[in-house]
A and B are shown apart, each in its own frame.
Chain A
Amino acid sequence: MAFDDPLDRPRAAGGRAPDVFRRGGWVPMREYRDSEPVDFVIVGTGAGAGTLACRLAEQGFSVVALDAGAYFRPLEDFASDESEQTKLYWTDDRIVDGDNPLQMGSNNSGKAVGGSTVHFAMVSLRFRPEWFKSRTLLGYGADWPIDWREMWHYYAEVEDALKISGPVTYPWGTKRPRYPYRAHPLNAAARVLAKGCEAMGISWTETPLATLSAPRGLAHPCVYRGFCVTGCSTNAKQSVLVTWLPRALASGAEVRDLAMVGRIDTGSDGLATGVHYHRAGQWRFQRARNVVVAGYAIETPRLLLNSANDQFPDGIANSSGLVGKNLMVQSNQAVWGTMEDEVRSYKGPPSLAITEHWNYDDDKDFFGGYAYMSQGPLPQLWANTQLGAHGLWGEQLMTAMKDYNHVAGLKIVGETMPQERNCVTLADEVDQYGLRIPRITFSLCDNDKKLIDHSLSFMGQALSAAGARNIWAQEDDTCHLNGTARMGDDPRRSVVDADCRSWDIPNLWICDGSVFPTVGGVNPSLTIQAIACRTADRIHQMARRGELERLPAARPRRVLTPSA
């Protein structure tokens, strides 16, 4: 038998898809013909796409989700090896520029069925309620067209779907329901954060994480080996791959792996008709009544721009001119130090303790907020950090690495401001599929820099108060990508409405990190999934009322008919 390489040949085919919970197992998968217009074709299978695919399939829609990445079997395909696991990252060619060119790859984009959540760090936080109206209430950025109370409902749904392990009570903000699973034990790195916070007189807590602190179905509880950001081989991590997608398949959705979408077609009526995708060596066209784009904040605008045609010469869904604009990362600066005692920070999930103090305290001289968390860099990453920050190499690097077990660090997830100059455009170069590659332009603004300075100074004090020595700041890191197809109330100033529906093309939807008008100071995946759940419910309602193009209300549906 030929070696089964998930990167070489599609696995989801022949009426079955990999069973992620059983070695060598399969689950049945419904398949659709390219010529058969499905209700929804979805580009991507990540936080936004996978969640939406599941919810739509469960409502009875026919769904096909396409992902450029491979369909991995975590129990078999994931090695405890940083180099091997680079197979999870989106490392296709991209051009970066601006004052602060972004480093693309491991820390911000995934290419796999399940999207970036396959190697994300599992931190699962809610927005601060005021952030949904940050322009009106806090004086910066843009308002979301969604009310926080509605989001609170969907956050709870996602937290339950992922069995988030979190503290018994959360110290900040509006009351939230108890997390479904209890918090994990703190490692020594987390206790350093806690000690620092206590010394500085601010609150801290156990980080709400999408990894199991007790068994769940066939998924094992976390074993605290700390390889989370290179892919979890126990299925403790509640990634989209092991949560929403098995549900989606069970409800009749089809997932196509190693399927790169290159272009969305529109018809003479200005509506989307389907997508061109490359799979198993050839270009194909999947017809669809609705197209959803959820390729994350670089690939989503790239696809929309690459789909320009005579009718939409500036790219589709782009009458506002905002496709690709307002790219927001999150600042990801850190302070590091060495502790007298061994820390072994890499034991367990990397961010077991958190403080959101500066997200909820408005006594600052800058807009926005940040959270900071304990850290647990794996050895290669740590060596790279040393190399990048201090230029260490050879003997010096070896000496520095001897302190690895004593290192403790604090790292922020900081809000950056939406700026139109930060954007994704198309370069002239093409990739392996012949598609124009994205050019990613990013510069920090003064407010962003002030926030970073504040955080570095505060964390430095906290780390020192916790007893660390040789403290130094890592000033250049970023994480997460958002905002390049923002949602809003006004078609002239946003790309999609509150339902993630394009203003220009009513059967085109964008449902991923791109739709964020602001990013807040928390990791985005919980919010992306909550929005996807909301979008699914809105589609359900609109379909019932016959408000969806090409989806007549009278069409019989599994779930919709009883109530329709």
Chain B
Amino acid sequence: MKRQSLFLLCAGIGAGAVTLALSRRQPAPPANRIPARRDLSNTPQHSSGTVRAARRLNRAAGLLATSVLADSGVEHYRGSFKNRAMFTPLIVSGATLAISAHGTADMRPAAHRVRDVTYALAAVTGLVGTGFHFYNVGRKLGGFSWQNLFYGAPLGAPMAILLSGLIGFSSERLRESQPDEQQGPEIFDLPAGRMLAAVISVGLLGTTAEAALLHFRGAYHNPAMYLPVTLPPIGALLMAQVCVGTRTRHVAARNWMWLLVAMGFAGSGFHAYGISRNMGGFANWSQNILAGPPLPAPPSFSGLALAGLACIDLVREHPDA
């Protein structure tokens, strides 16, 4: 029974990821497309490019949520859900995934109450989860020792759902912002694109720190383990440039974000290989998925990078954003 539920969880996660990946390819309906740079009669002052960016952010938030759902599902299952609170990230990330799918499909240039609340909840969950994980590590014998950092609750993990929430929340703000001639879309009175760029830059650095810690635990036994600790910081730098830089096409940042999207998914492949190197290989998947490197963790880089791409588009279309 337990194995079955784990299998269902994995299958669900796979389906979620595929849906999201496919939705990337779906062309936007023509109604929205044709007047891309003109006002729609019933949505005064709103660029459909903004909606497109918002939807891409929904998608990115969704991918991050998928990663969290799968990762916390597996890890908290491994922890036998000792504490009821350990179900929270599953529920919240599941909901975040659902509303992100909804947001990705939604062309309307207005924020959605349920999505708003859910994203806010996700962000808060990330913060509270981080607090929980710090508490869990700190109270262990030896406190914040390497032993506890390696094997206690991963300090950085809940940040992913925080980032998902932040990105999704920004997406909603973007939809409802009313850019005028002088100003691009705003989030809390700040230029939306630049603020997002900052969030993504910091998010990439945080996620790198997490990968660095856990790959150090694995003693970088495979040279490929250096990739997620070298490529994303460069991406973070490029996003920082997007945040503060001048008006350009950000070609390098764009390409780099695509590289990170690919790296994230490739990371899951590498982790699958890592899992297969445990006793019994894939045939013993039900144990080895828990023992090996976390299969769903690397795509959180892809999620952030997708958000980065949306953000770059936004800045490109609204140079002041």
**Partner-B contacts on A (CB < 8 A):** 163, 167-168, 180-183, 185-186, 191, 194-195, 198, 206, 213-216, 220-221, 223, 234, 236
Do B219 and A180 touch across chains, with their CB atoms under 8 A apart?
A: yes
Contact segment of B62-70, B118-126, B274-282, B299-307: B274-282
Q: Which residues of B contact A214 (CB under 8 A)?
A: 217-219, 221
A227 CB to nearest B CB, Å: 12
Minimal Cβ-Cβ distance residue in B for A191: B141
B216 in contact (CB, < 8 A): yes
B150 in contact (CB, < 8 A): yes
B142 in contact (CB, < 8 A): yes
A181 CA / B222 CA spacing, docked (Å): 12
Instruction: Name A182's contact: one of B217, B274, B277, B278 (CB within 8 Å).
Output: B217
Q: Which residues of A contact B279 (CB under 8 A)?
A: 220, 223, 234, 236
Q: Which residues of B contact A183 (CB under 8 A)?
A: 146-147, 150
Instruction: Name B142's contact: one of A163, A194, A213, A220 (CB within 8 Å).
Output: A194
B151 in contact (CB, < 8 A): yes
Do B277 and A206 touch across chains, with their CB atoms under 8 A apart?
A: no
A214 CA / B216 CA spacing, docked (Å): 11
A181 CA / B279 CA spacing, docked (Å): 18
Minimal Cβ-Cβ distance residue in B for A75: B279
Do A223 and B278 touch across chains, with their CB atoms under 8 A apart?
A: yes
Mask for B28-50, Cβ within 8 A of A = 1, else 0?
A: 00000000000000000000000
Minimal Cβ-Cβ distance residue in B for A182: B217
In the complex, number of A-B residue pairs with CB atoms less than 8 Å apart: 50
Instruction: Name B219's contact: one of A191, A195, A213, A236 (CB within 8 Å).
Output: A213
Q: Known A182-B150, A198-B141, A223-B291; judge A215-B219 contact (CB<8 A).
A: no
Q: Which residues of A contact B142 (CB under 8 A)?
A: 194
Q: Tell me the B100-159 residues at the A interface (CB within 8 Å).
A: 141-142, 146-147, 150-151
| 10 sample A-B contacts, Cβ–Cβ < 8 Å, listed by A number | A163-B219, A182-B150, A182-B216, A182-B218, A182-B219, A185-B147, A206-B147, A215-B278, A220-B277, A236-B279
Q: Which residues of B contact A215 (CB under 8 A)?
A: 221, 274, 277-278
Q: Which residues of B contact A191 (CB under 8 A)?
A: 141
A166 CB to nearest B CB, Å: 11
Do B141 and A194 touch across chains, with their CB atoms under 8 A apart?
A: yes
Q: Which residues of B contact A220 (CB under 8 A)?
A: 277-279
Q: Which residues of B contact A213 (CB under 8 A)?
A: 217-219
Instruction: Name A167's contact: one of B141, B146, B277 (CB within 8 Å).
Output: B146
Given A183-B146, A215-B278, A220-B277, 12 more contacts at CB 8 Å? A163-B219, A181-B221, A182-B150, A183-B150, A186-B151, A214-B221, A215-B277, A223-B278, A223-B279, A223-B291, A234-B279, A236-B279
Q: Which residues of B contact A194 (CB under 8 A)?
A: 141-142
Do A182 and B141 touch across chains, with their CB atoms under 8 A apart?
A: no
A228 CB to nearest B CB, Å: 14
Ordered nearest first, which 7 A-B pairs have the shortest CB separation?
A215-B277, A185-B151, A220-B279, A234-B279, A214-B221, A214-B218, A181-B219
Mask for B233-255, Cβ within 8 A of A = 1, else 0?
A: 00000000000000000000000
Do A195 and B221 touch across chains, with their CB atoms under 8 A apart?
A: no
Q: Which residues of A contact B218 (CB under 8 A)?
A: 182, 213-214
B190 CB to nearest A CB, Å: 41
A214 CA / B151 CA spacing, docked (Å): 14
A52 CB to nearest B CB, Å: 27
B124 CB to nearest A CB, Å: 31
Do A185 and B150 touch across chains, with their CB atoms under 8 A apart?
A: yes
Minimal Cβ-Cβ distance residue in B for A225: B279
A236 CA / B291 CA spacing, docked (Å): 14
Q: Which residues of A contact B146 (CB under 8 A)?
A: 167-168, 182-183
A220 CA / B221 CA spacing, docked (Å): 13
A180 CA / B219 CA spacing, docked (Å): 7
A201 CB to nearest B CB, Å: 14
